[in-house]
Structure 1
Amino acid sequence: MTSNYQAQILTFLDEIGIHTISSSLEEETFLPGLKIDSGKLYYDPEKLKYPGDLLHEAGHIALMTAEEKETIIGNVKNYRSPSQDDEMGVMCWTYAALIHLGLPPEVVFHPDGYKGDSQMLIHEYTNGQYRGLPLLVWMDLTDYESFPKMKKWIRS
């Protein structure tokens, strides 16, 4: 994946109000070169393996409550019980962002991600099987009829 994707993604995130900060990340992070910290997305250009991971991690921030944005640092799953996990909603949000940006699904759903299920996820999303969509509708980010078009990108 080219750095052109990275620039396009960073511009989009800035436009929708997700703050990204280029920084040297010395500590171990959940995804190489990325760290969520209090509603901001830090990225290390030297360690970032896939530009689409920026978009996926930004999806976590987009779906956070205001309280979560103040408290979550690092791996989102460390702050939630399994019943509160929003991973499917984040993947659906990410797919909508890919469509909005005109990027191929492989930018986010790359072979090294999603526990080997990348091709299955690409197949499902490109064939209208939008796992996670009910969560986005519940958050009032979109509706069933117009998805993958979003009403707004950030949860209120």
Structure 2
Amino acid sequence: MNPSAPPRPGDVTDRILDFLRSIGLPVRDGDAGGDAFLPGVRVDAGGLVVDRAHLRWPGDLLHEAGHLAVLPPSHRAAMSDALAGHDEVPHAGEMEATAWAYAATVALGLDPAVLFHAGGYHGRSADLVRTYALGVYPGAHGLVQAGMASTGEQARQRGEAPYPHMRRWLRE
């Protein structure tokens, strides 16, 4: 493969799935079902079921994984389908899941357009790419509060790289 060529969708999917497995999120191939919230991906018992034949946007894997990763383990294991109740846990909402997914995108060296693709984010994908590119990180504060990342002075005091670097990928 030409190193300057953009990665093929299957390559991106494999990279994402390898990453998710490496951090300890359960991922398995299977039928996501026609009623899955996002084509080709379903949350099941705290893990992801990936239906490669129907997966339209590989970045959706990162976003759904973000929802699981920002939950404490006791809540994570109970999550399925539409993630009922995930937003009742402090610092485990949509913004934190998006911030987590962006940090994973950076860690994987992927173009932010993989995550913020044209088919998602209610038509606000380009705005999100711009926002994150400017260093404005919606949801990062919640990741800090959950002990998953550091920002600003806290990162300097700890001698850590600031967000989008993650201190830990799964909430404890």
**TM class, shorter-length:** over 0.9
Question: How many residues are treated as equivalent by the alignment?
Answer: 155
1:154 pairs with 2:170 = yes
Change in CA separation of 1:57 and 1:81 when aligned onto 2, cut-off 3 Å: closer
CA RMSD of aligned residues (A): 1.6
1:136 pairs with 2:143 = yes
For 2:144 and 2:113, the matched residues in 1 are separated by: 25
Larger Rg: 2
Change in CA separation of 1:82 and 1:15 when aligned onto 2, cut-off 3 Å: closer
After superposition, what is the alpha-carbon deviation per residue over 1:109-150, rounded to whole angstroms, capped at 9, x for unaligned? 001100000000000001100000110000111101311111
- Gapped regions of structure 2 (runs ≥ 5): 1-7, 153-161
Q: Indicate which of 38, 46, 65 corresponds to 2:72.
A: 65
- Provide runs of 4+ in structure 1 moved above 4 Å: 80-85
Q: Aligned residue for 2:50?
A: 43
For 2:123 and 2:12, the matched residues in 1 are separated by: 22
1:18 pairs with 2:34 = no
- Gapped regions of structure 1 (runs ≥ 5): none
Q: Is the 8 A contact 2:87 2:93 kept in 1?
A: no
Identity of aligned pairs, percent?
Answer: 35
For 2:87 and 2:165, the matched residues in 1 are separated by: 30
Secondary structure of the residue aligned to 1:36 is: strand
**Residue range with higher mean Cα deviation, 103-112 or 81-90:** 81-90
After superposition, what is the alpha-carbon deviation per residue over 1:5-27, rounded to whole angstroms, capped at 9, x for unaligned? 00110111111111110002334
Q: Aligned residue for 1:120?
A: 127
Q: TM-score, normalised by structure 2?
A: 0.85
